[in-house]
């Protein structure tokens, strides 16, 4: 599907009901909670080594004999702080690249579970391949830049851009042939079209998953956190759709 076709589908997307989408998300969560835990665990395992890069200046300061009290107080040489600053954005882009790739793979797995395809072709790592890494990194840079600009503009725009940025993995997952720029455009187009619905769903889903997770002694958050991702999937499913869904509908119509 090219950008024009995708844009036309988004433009002609039907109105969606909050209650129906939330109910579907709950039912889908019961099918995919295991995959959600796996995605979150893989993200954590792969991100930790990248985040440790940020501690290189601190490790260097400790190795050079700077007192631990000075390090804890942040009283480091400007050179250490400059090094940290230079590392921060590239490391965050690397972290975002990993998370974006895993999330896109997760959505492909969710689709197989949702439609009962059982093909087993989708996996969490399918977008962390050589042919996608450049696109993932560029999308990460773009999303970080937009988020940073939103923060600079007194934080309020963060609430607006959070929805389209959250749609980037789902657009990538089912339209990998699009360029990074086209994926970003489609994310903002769908985000603008369904902003109120998605924002409400994300807030309620986050609050519910957090409350239930805390009631399960805190560790339950690991089991419930993936629930927040499902409204994005379902809004895309009912707004744009999948080829498999269209084929099933055609078969059912023929049988009738």
DSSP-derived secondary structure for the chain:
--HHHHHHHHHTPPP--HHHHHHHHHHHHHHHHHHHHHHHHHHHHHHHHHHHGGGHHHHHHHHTT--HHHHHHT---HHHHHHHHHHHHHHHHHHHHHHHHHHHHHHHHHHHHHHT-------TTTTSSHHHHHHHHHHHHHHHHHHHHHHHTTSHHHHHHHHHHHHHHHHHHH-TTS-HHHHHHHHHHHHHHTHHHHHHHHHHHHHHHHHHHHHTTTTTHHHHGGGGGHHHHHHHHHHT--HHHHHHHHHHHHH-
pTM score, whole prediction = 0.87
Least-confidence region, from 20-24, 82-86, 145-149, 171-175: 82-86
Predicted confidence (pLDDT) per residue in 204-237, tens digit: 999 998 888 787 776 778 788 899 999 999 999 9
Within 13 Å and on the Cβ side, how many CA atoms surround 176? 16
Predicted confidence (pLDDT) per residue in 176-207, tens digit: 999 999 999 999 999 999 999 999 999 999 99
Predicted confidence (pLDDT) per residue in 127-147, tens digit: 999 999 999 999 999 999 999
Q: Looking at 136-224, which runs of residues are DSSP E strands?
A: none
Q: How many domains does the chain have?
A: 1
Q: Of all residues in the chain, what percent carry a pLDDT higher than 90?
A: 61
Query: CA nearest 230: which of 200, 254, 205?
Result: 205
Q: Whole domain around residue 236: which residue ranges?
A: 3-255
């Amino acid at each position: 599907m090219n950008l024009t076709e995708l844009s036309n589908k988004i433009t002609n997307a039907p109105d969606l009901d909050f209650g129906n989408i939330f109910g579907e998300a709950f039912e889908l969560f019961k099918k995919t909670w295991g995959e959600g835990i796996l995605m979150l665990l893989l993200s954590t395992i792969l991100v930790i080594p990248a985040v440790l890069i940020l501690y290189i200046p601190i490790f260097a300061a400790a190795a050079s004999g700077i007192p631990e009290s000075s390090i804890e107080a942040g009283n480091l040489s400007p050179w250490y702080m400059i090094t940290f600053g230079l590392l921060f954005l590239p490391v965050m882009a690397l972290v975002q690249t990993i998370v974006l790739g895993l999330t896109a793979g997760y959505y492909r797995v969710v689709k197989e579970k949702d439609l009962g395809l059982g093909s087993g072709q989708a996996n969490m790592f399918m977008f962390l391949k050589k042919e996608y890494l450049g696109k993932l990194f560029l999308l990460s840079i773009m999303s970080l830049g937009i988020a940073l600009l939103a923060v600079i503009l007194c934080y309020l725009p963060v609430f607006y851009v959070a929805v389209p940025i959250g749609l980037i993995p789902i657009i990538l997952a089912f339209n990998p042939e699009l360029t990074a720029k086209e994926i970003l455009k489609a994310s903002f187009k769908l985000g603008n079209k369904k902003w109120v619905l998605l924002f409400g769903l994300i807030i309620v889903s986050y609050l519910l998953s957090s409350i239930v997770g805390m009631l399960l002694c805190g560790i339950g958050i690991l089991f419930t956190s993936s629930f927040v991702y499902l409204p994005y999937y379902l809004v895309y499913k009912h707004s744009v759709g999948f080829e498999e869904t269209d084929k099933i509908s055609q078969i059912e119509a023929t049988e009738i």
